Structure formats: C-alpha cells, structure tokens
Amino acid sequence: MLTSTFLAVVPATFQWTPAVAAIMIVCNILAIALGKYTIKYPNAEPAMPSSNFFGGFGLPAVLATTSFGHILGAGVILGLHNLGRI
C-alpha cells in the first residue's frame, strides 16, 4: 500500500532528446571554461593521460569541472522542462 502511494506522488519523467543532450554538453563546456580561469592549480596530480586533450587539467580539475557541469546541466534541463521549453 505504501509503495502505491509513492508511485502516485512521483511525477512522470521526460524523454532524453538531442536537445537535452545539447544542453548538457553546453553546460559542461561552460563549466570547463569557468574552471579554466578560476581553479588555482588546474594541473594538480595525478595527471591525465595525454593532458593536452584535457586542456592541461589534472584529474582533480577534470572531475571537478565535469561534476559541476552535470549539476548545472541537470538544473537547466529540469528548469526548462518545468517551464515547458523542452
């Protein structure tokens, strides 16, 4: 009985579309660009393999910027979905 109550409360999710993917990609690029100019030690150890592909970032900077990008992207996607734009 409790499970059916929880299922009634959960809103319907929306479909993953190319527009949603593009929004997530743009948010990650913005987060990486912001991190490039604000992280004090972007090349901290451990280093990424072929670091020239990662903008000279070390592993901590890559994880931090992409994590922030996904949080930002999820917020933008949910906000736009709530407004009915996507």
- Close Cβ partners of 65 (under 8 Å, ≥ 6 residues apart): 28, 31, 32, 34, 35, 39, 57
- Which residues, in sequence order, are bridge partners of residue 58? 47
Higher confidence at residue 80 or residue 45?
80
Q: Residue 48 falls within a domain, yes or no?
A: yes
* Residues spanned by the domain of 38: 24-83
**If you average pLDDT over residues 6-20, what whole number do you get?**
75
Count up the domains in the chain and report the number. 1
Which single residue is written with the structure tokens 């734009």?
A: 85
Confidence (pLDDT) at 14: 74
Q: Residue 4 falls within a domain, yes or no?
A: no
**The model's pTM:** 0.75
- For the cut 60, the answer to whether the pLDDT of residue 12 exceeds it is yes
